[in-house]
């Protein structure tokens, strides 16, 4: 029996705390639990998306 499940993953990056809160709100609306989509939200702390990816 295989307990491992593959998920599609979406990375959302916000530049500050306000944008991070907004992305969490959007996630709750469009990516409910059990939808097969894993959404990861990162905060760049004003340094841009490249900082988070590295």
Rounded CA separation 53/11 (Å): 9
Bridge pairing between strands 8-14 and 37-43:
parallel
Q: What are phi and psi of 6, to 5 degrees?
A: -85, 135
Euclidean distance between the first and the last CA atom of the chain, given in angstroms as a whole number: 36
- pLDDT given at position 32: 82
18-33 as b/e, with b when 16 or more CB fall inside 10 Å? Answer: eebeebeeebeeeeee
Q: Against a cut of 0.75, is the pTM above it?
A: no
Model confidence pLDDT, tens digit, residues 1-54: 678 877 788 888 888 899 999 999 999 988 888 778 889 998 888 877 677 677
């Amino acid at each position: 029996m295989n307990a491992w499940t593959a998920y599609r993953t979406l990375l959302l990056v916000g530049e500050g705390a306000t944008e991070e809160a907004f992305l969490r709100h959007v996630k709750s609306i469009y990516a409910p639990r059990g939808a097969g989509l894993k959404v990861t939200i990162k905060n760049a702390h004003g340094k841009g998306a490249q900082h988070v990816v590295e």
